[in-house]
Amino acid sequence: MANVLPFDDQVSVIGSLAEGMSIRAIERMHGIHRDTVMRLGVRIGRGRERVLDGVMHNLNSDLIQLDELWGFVGKKQKHVTETDSNDLGDVWTFVSIDAESKVVPAFRVGKRDGQTANAFVQDLASRLPNRVQISTDALAAYVDAIERGFGGDVDYGQIVKTFDSTDPLPASRRYSPPEVVSVRKTIIVGNPNKDLISTSYIESQNLTVRMHCRRLTRLTNAFSKKLENFKAAVALHFGYYNLCKRHKTVKTAPAVAAGLIARP
């Protein structure tokens, strides 16, 4: 008979991963080998991604915010050599959020380029049946991606931040961005309400991701060695966030607040 981890232990391990505990910490706390923890996390993460793909449709939303988070697989980009796999180095997680229900209807892991942005926005557009207002930062790839994904059936504006250029600390040694000296709202497509052009909710969501997913914690040593493991960890987090975690603003799980599932 195969050596199968008892169900209660599986639940405990997945709950610990979802709450941001590292694999080695789970190994110490639960007495379960780290390889078993990792394999279970990858399996459940893939399953959560399939569940979310089936649930996140026909979202009745008016305001959507987009942003992206930096992470890395195997090694940071500056250490990647020509002989390394394309999967190694910097990796970005594109994330969307509904400003009202706080649900995350779509996310995408990849490079910070037009190809990933296009796939992310097209996936998002397929889940939104009505015209929405979208807000992003000034990443140039969003302009083409939103045009490809939504055409003219969208109201789109950008938050353009100007940073202090006199900061003597180089970017490679800076833990956080330099001071913001000005913020400008720019209308790109359609007729968005300028007062509602904002990325505050998605930036707050980014903090939630970093607190619950060890691979995205700043200055972490819990990075993924494989891209598939990174993707599974991200999917596990968003499955837990959307379907299980009680959001303090909407007082329930975001997918429930969005009307996508019944109360868990």
pLDDT of residue 1: 39
pLDDT of residue 3: 58
pLDDT of residue 145: 96
pLDDT of residue 220: 73
pLDDT of residue 160: 87
pLDDT of residue 177: 67
Q: What is the CATH number of domain 7-257?
A: 3.30.420
pLDDT of residue 170: 60
What is the largest distance, in Å, between two alpha-carbon atoms of the chain? 66
**Distance of alpha carbon 36 from alpha carbon 199, whole angstroms:** 38
Q: Six-digit token pair at 198?
A: 């904002």
CA distances from 30 to 36, 221, 223, 228, 257 (A): 11, 21, 21, 25, 34
Q: Which residues of the chain have pLDDT under 70?
A: 1-3, 164, 167-177, 264
Helix (H) or strand (E) holding 95: strand 89-98
pLDDT of residue 2: 46
Query: Which residues have C-beta within 8 Å of that of residue 200, sequence separation ≥ 6?
Result: 65
> Mutual orientation of helices 34-55 and 23-30 as an angle, nearest 10°?
120
CB 87 within 8 A of CB 74: yes
**Distance of alpha carbon 216 from alpha carbon 105, whole angstroms:** 20
Query: Which residues have C-beta within 8 Å of that of residue 45, sequence separation ≥ 6?
Result: 231, 232, 233, 234, 235, 236, 239
pTM higher than 0.95: no
Phi, psi dihedral angles at 145 (to 5 degrees): -65, -45
Phi, psi dihedral angles at 238 (to 5 degrees): -70, -30
CA distances from 135 to 13, 111, 181 (A): 36, 21, 20
pLDDT of residue 119: 97
CB 159 within 8 A of CB 183: yes
- C-alpha dihedral sign at 122, 128, 130, 136: negative
